[in-house]
Structure 1
Amino acid sequence: MTNAVKNLVTLLKAEEIEYSSLGIDAEVQEIALAVNPLSKTMGGGICRMKECNFDWQLKYDEIIFVQSGSMYIGHKGKKIEAVQGDIFFMKEGAVITYGTDDEVEFFFSTYPVDWKESKKDVIYKETGEDLVTLIKGSQIEYNPLGIEGEIQEIAPVINKLSMNMGGGICRMKECHFDWQIKYDEMIYVSKGSMYITHDGKKIEAKQGDIYFMKDGAEITYGTDEEVEFYFTLYPVNWRELKN
């Protein structure tokens, strides 16, 4: 694990991430809550499963990005199936089943990070609302970032669904741009390689690595090659709150 100056930018290397058992009966069933110790807002990390499922009630909002394989979420009698590149957004209170008939690896973000303490006594009432949304990767529409670059596009697909976290996918090729973040942000590198420059340091990441960056960090997002990354941020309404 590499910490940048002032701990505003942290890089979690894929090969150093430690996994724990989910506690279910399966050949592969492990989770890494890699971001939770670093954050006061969002939790997040990676989950891997093979031919298994388990029931759960969410006491948090959750975003799932399917990195490889396939999975499903069971909710209100429906089996909602997803493949690589698809995204789930699920609202607090949802009674669900996480499952895969094959094998899956997914990156996830949750809000709030302290749900075990802050939500432990909450009892949810049935509202009839569908609390699970599936966004198909093949249907995602991208907008230009507005910078110089052969590929420079972003799809903040979660922002319109959530009152807490924003998120989506960004793609870049041989380009960079400077930014001061006014939110906490998680990035999972799904393809290629990239870097974040902060306090004069170029912090490089490849597929499977995770960045966690805190509100206020002055950074440069960049890639010398090509990259696709998933991102989540809190709060989703940072433009209204911070301007």
Structure 2
Amino acid sequence: MKNSTIGLVTLIKAQDIEFSPLGIEAEVQEIALAVNPYSETMGGGICRMKECNFDWQLRYDEIIFVQSGSMYIGHNGKKIEAAQGDIFFMKEGAKITYGTDTEVEFFFSTYPVDWKKSKKDIVYEQTGEDLVTLIKGEQIEYSPLGIECQNGKIAPVLNKISTNMGGGICRMKKCNFDWQIKYDEMIYVSKGSMYITHHGEKIEAKQGDIYFMKNGAEITYGTDEEVEFYFTLYPVNWRELQK
């Protein structure tokens, strides 16, 4: 099955995601900018690495969800280590090292999607400020999802620390609820399976699949079993913009 777009909802199936080399010396080093062709706001996709590292300066804000394995970010002389279930938030301008002493797969989101063009002439002043935040999975606090999902819970952990993208983790079990999204949203299914209903179509996804949904989509989030998914959205202040 190829990637499918119905109205304002695109489903990118794991088996159809195409990876390209990162361009560094390593046995495994590949990246898939899976969401970029569909989005005018956030970019995103999946990266895989094994026993390697490389230096980089961010020209965008970036969110990383560690799906499997472990990794680190080097920043301001510190090695900030993360394992499965942990989340990084990194601000534009950060000089960092991406690395793993073993191997890692992570889902990432970036803003803006067009940073290569819009940010190419920017020179960043280095102030020594810490521009990297690590959120440990075991410290994440969830709140009830409410609505019709009594078994649902959500942790929008990035909303309080980001000025561009919001995001976090959601868990649901045998429930569904209707919603009209007032932002662009990316979802990576980290465990289980789920569906998005849009324009009368039930668009089903399982672990490793990615949804991209555009502002204004009228949808139903649901799962017939149970699911955990990572999500990012833009803009983080969408509620304020509706007032």
Q: Which range, TM-score by smaller chain?
A: over 0.9
Match of 2:233?
A: 233
For residues 85-143 of structure 1, what are the alpha-carbon distances to aligned partners after superposition, in whole Å with 9 as ceiling and x for unaligned? 00000000000000000000000000000000000000000122100000000000000
The aligned amino acid for 1:195 is Y
| AA partner of residue 186 (structure 2) | M
Give the match's secondary structure for 1:4.
strand
In 2, distance between residues paired with 1:4 and 1:107?
21
Letter in 2 for 1:209: D
Give 1:148 deviation, angstroms.
3.6
Structure 2 letter corresponding to 1:94: A
- Find the residue that maps to 2:241 and give its secondary structure: helix
CA distance in 2, matches of 1:230, 1:5: 21
Distance 2:9 2:90 in 1: 27
Matched, 1:44 2:44: yes
- For residues 187-202 of structure 1, the aligned pairs below 5 Å read 187-202=187-202
Q: Which residue of 2 aligns with 1:74?
A: 74
Q: Distance in 2 between matches of 1:60 and 1:145?
A: 30
Q: Deviation above 2 Å: which 4+ runs of structure 1?
A: 1-6, 147-151
What residue ranges of structure 1 are gaps of 5+ in the alignment? none
Query: SS in structure 1 opposite 2:146?
Result: coil
SS in 2 for 1:15: helix
Distance apart, 1:229 and its partner CA: 0.1
Q: Structure 2 unaligned segments of length 5 or more: list them.
A: none
Q: Which residue of the partner structure matches residue 183 of structure 1?
A: 183
Aligned 8 A contact 1:181 1:216 in 2: yes
**CA distance in structure 2 between the aligned counterparts of 1:242 and 1:202, rounded to whole angstroms:** 28
Asked if 1:162 is matched to 2:162, the reply is yes
* Counterpart code for 1:3: S
Displacement of 1:3: 2.7
What residue is the counterpart of 2:59 in the other structure? 59
Tell me what 2:19 maps to.
Answer: 19
What is the count of residue pairs matched by the alignment?
242
3-state DSSP of counterpart to 2:65: strand
Q: Map of 1:71-150 to 2, 5 A cutoff? A: 71-149=71-149
Across the aligned residues of Structure 1 and Structure 2, the Cα RMSD in angstroms comes to: 0.8
Aligned equivalents of 1:4 and 1:110: distance in 2? 21
Q: C-alpha separation between the residues in 2 aligned to 1:198 and 1:168?
A: 23
SS of match in other structure, 2:154: strand
Q: Aligned equivalents of 1:68 and 1:183: distance in 2?
A: 28
Question: What residue identity is the alignment partner of 1:227?
Answer: V
Quote the offset at 1:5 in angstroms: 2.8
Task: Judge conservation of contact 2:144–2:150 (CA < 8 Å) in 1.
Answer: no
Quote the Cα distance in structure 2 between the aligned partners of 1:150 and 1:105. 31
- Cα deviation for residue 150 of structure 1 reads 5.2
Answer whether contact 2:26 2:50 (CA < 8 A) is retained: yes
1:3 aligns with 2:36: no
Structure 1 window deviating more from structure 2 (179-188 vs 126-135): it is: 126-135
Give 1:68 deviation, angstroms.
Answer: 0.1
Match of 1:220 in 2: 220
Identity of aligned residues (%): 83
Normalised to the residue count of structure 1, the TM-score between the two structures is 0.98
8 Å contact from structure 2 (residues 62, 89) kept in 1 = yes
- For normalisation by structure 2, the TM-score amounts to 0.98
- Write the distance in 2 (CA, Å) between the matches of 1:138 and 1:100: 20
Provide the C-alpha distance between the structure 2 equivalents of 1:195 and 1:4, rounded to a whole number of angstroms: 14
